[in-house]
Structure 1
Amino acid sequence: MVDAGTPGTGPAAGSPEAAATRRPGLPSTTATCVAVVAVAVVLSVVVGARAVPLTAVWSDTHPLHPVVEARLERTLLALAVGAALGLAGALMQGLTRNPLADPGILGVNAGATFAMVIGMTAFGANALSQFLPLAFAGAALATVLVHAIAALGRDGATPMKLAITGAALTAGLMSWTTGLLLADRKTMESFRFWQVGTVGGRGLDVLLVGAPFLVAGAVLALTGARLLNTLALGDDLARGLGRRTTRDRLVLGLAIVLLAGTATALTGPIAFVGLVVPHVVRGFVGPDYGRVLPFSMLAGAALVVLADTVGRVVLPPAEVQVGIMAAAVGVPFFLFLIRRTGRSL
């Protein structure tokens, strides 16, 4: 029998136990995330096509204070949308047990966008209050369709089949969206503001309209952490523990639709945030969704704010939209995950 206190007899290098012992503690991780978000907010306010001194932030009489106010509204929107996308991505990965899940990859964003364009061309929708229900419907239908198609065949909805089906549906929906826009010049002029994915040019009133839906989705998601931990054990064991798995999945699916649909309606499609963030977060806090979900909110908020800030200065005097900057980070990460997931199948 080996003495547990003998040097060199601890967890093997590379084992899950050894990885857990190397993770920083919860207080330090929380402090780090909050600090990163705070730094991102400060940079977002003071960095841009024109640098703003900190004195302009505090002084109402400073000539650049209106610039600070505009950037602050933009930053608040980026924080809310980033938190929603990070949380939605963590939910999707937990709900489908698919490491490649993301609202942009599995067709949720494309479905919301397509529904909004149909509403604009067929029904003359032109207000955010009209876009939101359309985005919810499109996101929900796309989610159901991807899972239904991927479930066909012998092995059911495997992670790779979900990713391939979502990519195919996204390509199809975006093609149809482009076709509708080309056929209606007036709709194209109205919609191009949303097409790439941007937090610029939105006022605080836009965020206030979407805030109740984001809050409702976040509450459903955060209270579903125990459901995700149970579902991770497998449906049979979850049912054996008294869970109603179908109802649980519907509740969590509603949270995803609220979060991803509202984010798309507010800023347009921003992909890969929900893919990258949960993987990074799990490396710091482990697989417990009681920690993964709230930290994904913080990390998603920081990522979108930083991506928006970098996009303002990377190609001066032009501005690179946050949807493009997020893709610049997310595409290599997605290819890496596909390579790693393909090896494990």
Structure 2
Amino acid sequence: MTTRPQSVCTKAFGLAVLVLLMTAGASLILGAGPVPIADALAALGGGGSEEARFVLVELRLPRLAVGITTGLALGVAGALLQALTRNPLAEPGLLGVSAGSAFAVSLAIMLGASTVTLTTLVAQGGALAGCSFVIAAARMKGLGNDPIRLVLAGATLSGLLLALTSLLMLADQRAADEIRFWVTGSIAGRQWPQLLAALPTLLLGGVIVVAVAQPLASLTLGERVAVGLGQHPGRVRLLVVLAVALLVGAATALAGPLVFVGMVVPFLARALAGADIRKTLWLCLPVGPAVLVLADTVSRLVAAPSELPLGVVTALIGAPVLLAIVRARRMPTL
């Protein structure tokens, strides 16, 4: 396991926070709408036109808050999955966790669910089922030790769940448009009620992450070492699965199923902090939001005055990272 000196990690964290602040500022002043940059900047100071103040306060500010929260949740969840499976390709979107969450929400929408709280809880239940599959597959002889085969197994599950989601849209045309917009991945139009509904379970997931970080660091050294250090591997896995389900479920309820975020963010964090999961998790806090907010800002600009689905942009960002990892002569070890 490679590590970085504490001073290097501190500088990397500061740099990541600076990048996050810059992307957050860009998210507030740039958009697909007709609000000029100068007017948006004036609105940040309390001036500007009434239209600019409305766009910033009522549309872009809650969208930014949802983007920061979603990026943080997916980044941390990806780091947890990769550390638990010891697989740098483990990612909620690739392994079926997000697809399980998306299918559960789509089913709930078809059955008439409308409250944001119910949607969040349903999404977390679906994520829990998908995460359980990942952990079971990772512990299968031969499969868990082969990163490529594990991803293929997850992709198979994702494909099956996406097919079932498509069948739901065919079965209920009333809910099809809502499901279709949601499964493409987007934080456009998200408001404070959706974020507030997801916060309690996100906070619970955060508490679990804090509690499990040290035991998980021991577990990455091997089960025998972890047991020798007084840890309980089964309990650690259970807590990690629960934390991932809470984080991914809430993120999916807020933004839909977004792929590659949970892989790109830990990849960048490890490049800056080394493979120590505790430092990786700490660095994911600013890196995750920065990546997602940047992707959302790009989605608004490249096709203005329309917007690209956020899920398309995250896929375009993450696909080259996936190819770089797969084409490496030696898969990185965690």
- Which amino acid counterpart does residue 64 of structure 2 have in structure 1? T
Give matches, 1:172-191, under 5 Å.
172-191=160-179
1:153 and 1:131 map into 2 onto residues whose CA distance is: 36
In the superposition, relative to structure 1, how do residues 287 and 152 fare at CA in structure 2: closer, same or farther (>3 Å)?
A: closer
- Which amino acid counterpart does residue 102 of structure 2 have in structure 1? T
1:76 and 1:94 map into 2 onto residues whose CA distance is: 27
Conserved 8 A contact 2:94-2:155: yes
In the superposition, relative to structure 1, how do residues 278 and 342 fare at CA in structure 2: closer, same or farther (>3 Å)?
A: same
Conserved 8 A contact 1:197-1:322: yes
1:231 and 1:198 map into 2 onto residues whose CA distance is: 35
TM-score (ref. length: structure 1): 0.89
Give the 3-state SS of the residue equivalent to 1:319 in structure 2: coil
- Structure 1 residue 343: Cα displacement: 6.2
Q: Does 1:32 align with 2:20?
A: no
Give the 3-state SS of the residue equivalent to 1:270 in structure 2: coil
In the superposition, relative to structure 1, how do residues 93 and 314 fare at CA in structure 2: closer, same or farther (>3 Å)?
A: same
- Structure 1 residue 162: Cα displacement: 1.6
Give matches, 1:249-288, under 5 Å.
249-288=237-276
Q: Does 1:244 align with 2:220?
A: no
- Structure 1 residue 300: Cα displacement: 0.7
Conserved 8 A contact 1:109-1:261: yes
Residue matched to 1:206: 194
- CA shift digits 1:130-161 (9 cap, x unpaired): 11221111111112223334544545553222
Q: Does 1:44 align with 2:31?
A: no
**Runs of 4+ more than 6 Å apart:** 341-345
Q: Percent identity?
A: 36
Q: Does 1:131 align with 2:116?
A: no
- Which amino acid counterpart does residue 40 of structure 1 have in structure 2? T
Give matches, 1:288-307, under 5 Å.
288-307=276-295
Residue matched to 2:183: 195
- Structure 1 residue 238: Cα displacement: 0.6
1:251 and 1:212 map into 2 onto residues whose CA distance is: 17
- Structure 1 residue 189: Cα displacement: 2.3
Give matches, 1:56-75, under 5 Å.
56-59=43-46, 62-63=49-50, 64-69=52-57, 70-75=59-64
Q: Does 1:55 align with 2:42?
A: yes
Query: Which one has more relative contact order, counting CA pairs under 8 Å at least 6 apart?
Result: 2
Q: Does 1:148 align with 2:146?
A: no
- Which amino acid counterpart does residue 304 of structure 1 have in structure 2? L
1:207 and 1:328 map into 2 onto residues whose CA distance is: 26
Number of residue-to-residue matches in the alignment: 327
Gap regions ≥5 residues in structure 2: none
Residue matched to 2:101: 112
Residue matched to 2:74: 85
Structure whose alpha-carbon radius of gyration is higher: 1
Residue matched to 1:336: 324
1:257 and 1:147 map into 2 onto residues whose CA distance is: 12
Alignment counterpart, residue 88 of structure 2, candidates 99, 114, 136:
99
1:341 and 1:109 map into 2 onto residues whose CA distance is: 29
RMSD (Å), alpha carbons: 2.1
Give the 3-state SS of the residue equivalent to 1:224 in structure 2: helix
> After alignment, is 204-213 or 158-167 more displaced?
158-167
